Structure 1
Amino acid sequence: MGVIVAAWAVSAGTVMPAAADTDPRGYLTKMKAQEMWKVADGTGVTVAVIDSGVKDVPGLEGRVLPGVSFMEPPFEEPDHSYPPHEDFVGHGTTMTAAIVGDGSAGGPQGLAPGAKVLPIRTSIGTPMAFAVGGEMAKGLRYAADHGAKIVNLSLGVWEGPDMKLVRPAVEYAQSKGVLVFAAMGNEAEEAHNLINPITALPGVIGVGAVDDNGAPMGFSSYGPDTDLSSIGNTVVRRCTNNTGWCVGDGGTSYATALASASAALVWSAHPDWTANQVTRVLIETAGAPLDGSKRTDNIGYGVARPRKVLLDHEGNPGAPDIDPLAKPAPVKAPAPSAAPTAAAPRQAESADTESGKIPWKWPALGAVAALSVGLGITVLVKRRRR
C-alpha cells in the first residue's frame, strides 16, 4: 500500500546563503507575528506533530516534549528502536521548527513559539513507510491521551486499508476535543490532482498552499475539502538528509504547520474555547478568495489570519458543540401518500430536491487508482463530526 507524503513541493532546495536577497521568513512580518506574540504566543497549547520525528537542532531547545515513536523496525532487525528525537529526512524537524522554533542557527522562527510540540515518529520517508497508516492511527490516539490540543498531519495515506485504521483514530482524537489539520497534498500538477483522503473526514481541516501574495501554488492539491490555506512557497527547511537548513518550497506540509500554529495562537488567547470554536473563528477571519467567493476549491475559505482574532478581535466563536465545517443533513422526502391526488405534488417535490443537490459527489478514480496503488474512491464531502 502506497503512501501520499504531503511533503516538499517540486524543488530540492538550496543551501541557506549567509545573506539572502529576500527573507524567506517574511510571512511572519505580513502576519504581524511580533504584535500577536504580545497577546498570545501559543503558551499552554501542545501541538502533536505526527511525522518523521524531530532532530534536536539549535532553536528547538525546551520547546519539544519527549514524545514517542511508533516506527516499525525492519524485519531483519525486530529489536531495533527509533527514538522520536531522531529524523532521517528532516520533514518532521521542519514542521516542528515552523511551529515553535526560535529562529536561531538559520532555522525558521516558529509562528507559535510559546507552544510545545509533541513529536510522534512514524516510518515516513523510509523503506518501511508501508506501515505509516497504522503508525499514524496509534499516534492520533496517543496525542489525544497525552495532552495535545492540535494534531498536525503534514502527511497522508491512500484511501483503503490505511484509512480504515486512520478514520476511527481521528474520530477518537476529536472525541477528546482535539483539532486535526491535514495537508491537501502536492499533486495538482501531477497524478491527476491526488488529494489526501484524510482531509475529507468530518471536522478535519484540509490545508492548501499559497504564495506570499495569497495566490494558490500550482502544485497544491485542491478540491471541496480545502478549508484553509497558508504559505507554502519559499521557506527555510531542512536540507536533504537533514544535514542543515536550506531554502525551498514548503508545500502544503509547511502550510499545514502554519495553520496548526495559527490555531495554537488563537487557543492560547482563548483557552476556554473548543475545537469547533477555534475552527469557526479561523474560517470567519481567513483572507477570502480575491474573486469575492466565500470559498474556492483552491484555497478554501482563505488564508489563515490569526491576527484578525488576536489583534482585531474579529470572529464569533459561536456554539461550542457545532462543527462549522459540517454540511447540513439532507432533507428527507416525505413518505408517499396513498391518496391518488397526492401523486403529482410528491413528484414535483422530488424534482425540486434533485435540482438542489450538493454538486460534488464521490468520483471513482479508476485510472488513478490503477496508477497509484489503491487510491480508490475518495469521499469529497465533509460529513458531520461524530
Structure 2
Amino acid sequence: MKRLLIIVLLGLFPTLVLTAQEAAPNSYWVQLKDKKGTPYLINQPEAFLSQRSIDRRTRQHILIDETDLPVSPDYIDSLINRGLEIVHTSKWLNGATVRTSDTTLIKKIATLPFVTMVQLTKPGNVLKSISNKFSEEVLNTEYDPENYGDAITQLSQLNGQYLHRQGFRGKGIQIAILDAGFLNVNTIEAFDSLRNSNRILGTRDFVDPTSDIYTQNYHGMSVLSCMGGNIPGSLIGTAPDASFYLLRSEDVSSEYLIEEDNWVAAAEYADSLGVDVINSSLGYTQFNDSLMNHSYADLNGKTTRVTQAANMAFQKGILVFNSAGNEANKSWKRIIAPSDGENVIAVAAVDKDGFRASFSSVGPAFGGAIKPNVAAMGSGTTLVTSNGTVGYSSGTSFSSPVLAGMGACLLQANPYAGVKMAKMAIEQSANQYDKPDSLVGFGIPDFEKADKYLKVNSANKLKEKSSWTVAPNPFSESIFLRNLNTINNKNYLVSISNLQGICLWQSTFNSEETIVLKNLANLPQGFLILSIRSGETEELIKLIKTR
C-alpha cells in the first residue's frame, strides 16, 4: 500500500515533488589545507579534551599533537558566511562535512585558498530504501528458558570466564558503540542493570541530531546486548559491568559516503570523552552512487577516511574492534572498511564449534596485511533480538562486540598495558597465531593467555633494580628521587597513578641528580605507581602512600 500511495502522489503532483527534490541539499566533504588561526594550544588540552581523555593518553604515554587540535574556527566561519551548513568537523582529518543545494556555490568553495578538495558524499535527491541493510543476519527468536544463558558458549569459546571469575567484567571501562540505532534500550529488561546504575553514559545521533536513538534501528541494541546485556539465567554479555556511549552514525535508509564521515565524527567525539574501546559493527565498500564505490585497492589500510579515523583512534589510545563483514557469499567477498586498518582488530565470525561462518568476509587487506585479525562466535550468537527478547542471530556484527567486551575486561585487568600491547596479546593468544590465514586471521583468542602475556610484559616494566632511588617509600607528603646514572641533559616526565591507571599527579623536570616531588598529601592512601619517563625510556616503581 505504501508503494502504491507513493506512485499515485508522484502522478498527481509531479511539479510539487520535483520542487522538493530540487530544494534538498547535497552533502559534501571539504578538505582543509591546515589549521591556521586555531586558538587552541597543544599544551592546554583541557580546552578541547575531557580529563579522562587526557588521562588515557598520559597512562599510555601518548603525546597530544596537532591532530588533536580542533579545525580552524576562522575557516569554519568563512564557510558558514558563504552560505554552507556545517554538519560535522574532523580535527583528525582536518575537514568538514557541509550541506548546500547551491552547486555553483560549492564550485566556488573548491577554489578557496584554504580548501584542498571538495567531494560529494550524499545527493539531496535520495529516495530512501526500505530494505534492511542487516538482512544477512538472520534472526531466530526461539529460546529455551530452562538453559542457563546460552551466551556462556560465546564467552567460553574465548576462555572469557577466566577473567570474569576474577571479577574483571569491564568495570570502569568505557565502550563507545557506533551503530545504526538502539531501539528500546531505554525499556528492554536486558539493559535494566545499565540503566539502574547509570552506565549508559550518553547518546548522540550523528545522522539526525533531532532524532531519538531509542526509536531508531534495532541493530545497535542487539550489539549492545552482546556486551552489556544482563538477564541472570538467560543472557550475560562479555562486559556486563562496563559503561557505554551509544552513538548513531549509520543511516539504514541509504548508503553514501557521508556515513563514513558520520563515523569519523562519532569516533572523534568518543575520543574526546575518554572512552577506552570502540566497537563498530559497520563497514563500507559499495554505495547507492557507484561513483562513490571503493575498490579493493582502497582497502590497503590507509586510504578511506573511515579507516584513517579508525587508525587514529587507536593511536589516541582506544582499542578499536570492527566487524570483518558478511560479504563472503556476495560479489564483494572481502573485508570492509575500516576493518582494513592496520590498527583495527577486524573480527571474523565462527560457529560454536570454532568453524568459520560461510558469510564471514575474507582477507587479506590489499597489499597482503593479515585480515581478518581474529575471530569470535558470530553464528548463532545469543543476544537480544529485534523484538526485545533473548534469541539467536548471526553476523560479524555480533562476533565483533563479543570480542570487544572481552577486550574491555582485559584492559580492566591490565590498566597499564596500553592498546598496542593489548592488541598484540589478543592476537598472540589466538589458536592459529603461528599459521594465520585470510579466513579467520590468527584465529580464536584465549583471554587467559592474553592476560598472562600482559602480566609478564607489564611486570618487566616494574623493575626491582631501578636507576632511581625513592625515599621515603612509604611516603606521606613528599618524595625524593635520586638518579644513580650519569646525567645526560635529559628532561623527565614524572607521574603518579593509581592501580586503575588513572593519573593523579604529573610534572616535568629538567636534568637533575635529585628530583623532589612535593604537595602529595592529598593523594589517596594505598598502592600507587610512579612513572619516570624520558624519551622512549620509562621506569615504573611501586609506591605506598600513608597518612
Same fold (TM over 0.5): yes
Whether 2:266 is the aligned partner of 1:266: answer no
Cross-structure match for 1:144: 271
CA distance in 1, matches of 2:313, 2:383: 29
Structure 1 partner of 2:260: 133
1:305 to 431, 446, 451: 446
Name which of 163, 183, 189 aligns with 1:58: 189
2:341 aligned partner, one-letter code = L
Change (3 A) 1:194 1:246: farther
Tell me the distance in 2 between the aligned counterparts of 1:295 and 1:6: 30
Corresponding residue for 1:233? 379
CA contact (8 A) 1:6 1:155 kept: no
CA distance in 2, matches of 1:274, 1:35: 20
**1 CA distance for matches of 2:391 and 2:256?**
26
**Match of residue 173, structure 2, among 32, 37, 45:** 45
Match of 1:83 in 2: 212
Report the CA distance between 1:31 and its aligned residue.
4.1
Q: Tell which has more relative contact order, 1 or 2 (C-alpha 8 A, sep 6+).
A: 1
How far is 1:94 from its partner? 1.2
Are 1:176 and 2:355 matched, yes or no? no
Q: 2:348 is paired with a residue of what secondary structure?
A: strand
Q: Deviations over 1:38-70 (max 9, x none)?
A: 321111211110002322222223332212211
Deviation at 1:281, TM superposition (A): 0.6
User: How many angstroms does 1:318 deviate by?
Assistant: 5.7
Could you give the per-residue CA deviations for residues 8-46 of structure 1, whole angstroms, max 9, x where no partner exists?
645232343545699354223444544422321111211
Cα offsets for 1:261-317 (capped at 9, x unmatched): 12111100011111100001101111227xxx521111111112213234xx24577
Q: 1:127 to 1:104 in 2, by over 3 A?
A: farther
Residue number among 120, 137, 141 corresponding to 1:14 in the alignment: 141
Describe the SS at the equivalent of 1:66.
Answer: strand
TM-superposed CA distance for 1:7, in Å, is 4.5
Asked if residue 93 in structure 1 is aligned to residue 234 in structure 2, the reply is no
Distance in 2 of aligned mates of 1:237 and 1:124: 22
Native 8 Å contact 2:141 2:391 kept in 1:
yes
Deviation, 1:88, is 2.8
Q: How far apart, in 2, do the equivalents of 1:119 and 1:134 lie?
A: 17
User: Which residue does the alignment assign to 2:36?
Assistant: none
Q: Is the 8 A contact 1:52 1:92 kept in 2?
A: yes
Q: How far did 1:205 drift?
A: 1.2
Aligned AA for 2:430?
A
**Secondary structure of 1:98's aligned partner:** helix
Distance 1:155 1:221, change over 3 A: same
For residues 219 and 266 of structure 2, the distance between their equivalents in structure 1, rounded to whole angstroms, comes to: 17
CA change 1:167–1:283 in 2 (3 A) is closer
For 2:148 and 2:174, locate their aligned partners in 1 and report how far apart those are by CA, in whole Å: 34
Q: What is the CA-CA distance between 1:237 and the residue it aligns to?
A: 3.5
**Are the aligned partners of 2:327 and 2:360 in contact in 1 as well (CA < 8 Å)?**
yes
SS in 2 for 1:277: helix
Does the CA-based 8 Å contact 2:373-2:443 persist in structure 1?
Answer: yes
Would the alpha carbon gap of residues 226 and 145 (structure 1) be closer, same or farther in structure 2, given more than 3 Å must change?
Answer: same
Please tell me whether the aligned partners of residues 144 and 176 of structure 1 are also in contact (alpha carbons under 8 angstroms): yes
2:379·2:394 contact (CA, 8 Å) conserved in 1? yes
Query: 8 Å contact 1:280–1:318 — kept in the other structure?
Result: no
- C-alpha separation between the residues in 2 aligned to 1:145 and 1:22? 36
Change (3 A) 1:254 1:317: farther
In structure 1, how many angstroms separate the alpha carbons of the residues matched to 2:423 and 2:315? 15
Q: Distance in 1 between matches of 2:406 and 2:444?
A: 11
Whole-Å separation in 2 of the counterparts to 1:317 and 1:176: 24
SS in 2 for 1:142: helix
**Cα deviations across residues 229-252 of structure 1 (Å, max 9, x unaligned)?**
00011123343xx32225333211
Q: 1:92 to 1:316 in 2, by over 3 A?
A: same
Cα 1:15–1:132, aligned 2, differ >3 Å: closer, same or farther?
farther
Q: 1:244 is matched with which residue?
A: 388
Output the amino acid matched with 1:70: F
Q: Distance in 1 between matches of 2:165 and 2:233?
A: 24
> What is the root-mean-square deviation in Å for CA atoms of aligned residues?
3.1
The equivalent residue for 1:191 is 331
Instruction: Give me the whole-angstrom Cα distance separating, in 1, the residues matched to 2:251 and 2:261.
Output: 12
State the one-letter code of the partner of 1:44.
Answer: G
Q: Any conservation in 1 of the 2:307–2:337 contact (CA below 8 Å)?
A: no
Give deviations 1:344-369, integer Å, cap 9, x for gaps.
Answer: xxxxxxxxxxxxxxxxxxxxxxxxxx
- Structure 1 unpaired stretches of 5+: 74-80, 320-386
SS at match of 1:199: coil
How far apart in 2 are the matches of 1:65 and 1:122? 17
5 Å-filtered alignment, 1:306-345, equals 306-310=447-451, 313-314=452-453
CA contact (8 A) 2:175 2:276 kept: yes
Q: How many angstroms apart in 1 are the aligned matches of 2:206 and 2:189? A: 25
Distance across 1 between alignment mates of 2:293 and 2:254: 19
Is residue 150–residue 180 contact of structure 1 (8 Å, CA) maintained in 2?
yes
Residue of structure 1 in register with 2:207 after alignment: 71
Indicate how the Cα distance of structure 1 residues 44 and 30 shifts in structure 2: closer, same or farther if over 3 A, else same. Answer: same
Q: Do the aligned partners of residues 316 and 248 (structure 1) sit closer, same or farther apart at CA in structure 2, a change above 3 Å counting? A: same
> In structure 2, the residue corresponding to 1:265 is in which secondary structure?
helix
- C-alpha contact (below 8 Å) 1:42/1:112 kept by paired residues: yes
Q: In 2, distance between residues paired with 1:125 and 1:31?
A: 31
- What are the Cα deviations for residues 139-165 of structure 1, in whole angstroms up to 9, with x where unaligned? 110111111111111111227589743
Distance in structure 1 (CA, Å) of the matches to 2:409 and 2:309: 25
Number of residue pairs matched by the alignment: 302
